[in-house]
């Protein structure tokens, strides 16, 4: 590990650890979630975190072998998921199946906390990023993790108040208009 890249390599190791923990958590959530909507959303997040983990590992291995920050990275090349739109579509599809339990609510809250902490981590690292590609990577990760966080907040709102969720998302009022 080259001295000038030591801080960057350390950041990538911590990022890998974050993504691996999120991935493991979402794998378990997919297996144990009682409802189809929860399973579908946790599977989306699992797929996203798997992509993050692979992209970060690729960057890490590239830099570990002495190469500069890679110009092309699988994280930059993939299309950014519109997490909120994806959840809204899934919620509409499973509208009649609203169910939640204590285990699910706890898993949802843990997921929200994971994503919030990921955003904080990447935002903090962006403050000291020197390389333009490193900054681009961090900005991309912030954007994706914020999307995941918003998706989970929407999901929490949906399970806490399904009628309110659909009224807000479908822009319906209570006056019958």
CATH of the domain at 78: 1.20.1260.10
For residue range 4-55, what is the model confidence (pLDDT) as tens digits? 667 788 889 999 998 999 999 999 999 988 878 888 889 989 999 999 999 8
Q: Which of 38, 118, 48, 124 is nearest to 83 (CA)?
A: 48
Any idea what DSSP says for residue 17?
A: H
The pLDDT assigned to 1 comes to 44
145 located within any domain: yes
176 located within any domain: no
Return the residue matching tokens 């890679």.
Answer: 70
Into how many domains does the chain fold?
1
Which tokens go with 24?
């493991």
Q: What dihedral do alpha carbons 110, 111, 114, 120 form, nearest 10°? A: -120
79 located within any domain: yes
The pLDDT assigned to 38 comes to 83
177 located within any domain: no
Residues of the chain with pLDDT under 70: 1-5, 70-103, 171-177
44 located within any domain: yes
Range of the domain at 138: 3-169
175 located within any domain: no
């Amino acid at each position: 590990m080259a001295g000038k890249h030591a801080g960057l390599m350390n950041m990538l190791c911590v990022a890998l650890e974050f993504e691996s923990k999120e991935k493991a958590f979402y794998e378990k959530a997919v297996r144990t979630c009682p409802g189809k909507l929860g399973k579908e959303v946790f599977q989306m997040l699992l797929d996203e975190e798997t992509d993050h983990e692979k992209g970060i590992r690729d960057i890490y291995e590239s830099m570990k072998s002495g190469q500069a920050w890679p110009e092309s990275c699988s994280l930059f090349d993939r299309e950014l998921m519109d997490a909120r739109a994806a959840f809204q579509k899934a919620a509409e599809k499973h509208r009649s199946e609203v169910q939640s339990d204590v285990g699910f609510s706890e898993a949802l809250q843990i997921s929200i906390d994971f994503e919030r902490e990921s955003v904080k981590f990447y935002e903090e690292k962006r403050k000291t990023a020197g390389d333009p590609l490193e900054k681009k990577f961090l900005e991309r990760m912030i954007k994706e993790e914020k999307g995941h966080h918003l998706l989970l907040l929407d999901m929490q709102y949906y399970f806490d108040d399904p009628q309110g969720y659909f009224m807000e998302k479908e822009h319906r009022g209570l006056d019958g208009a």
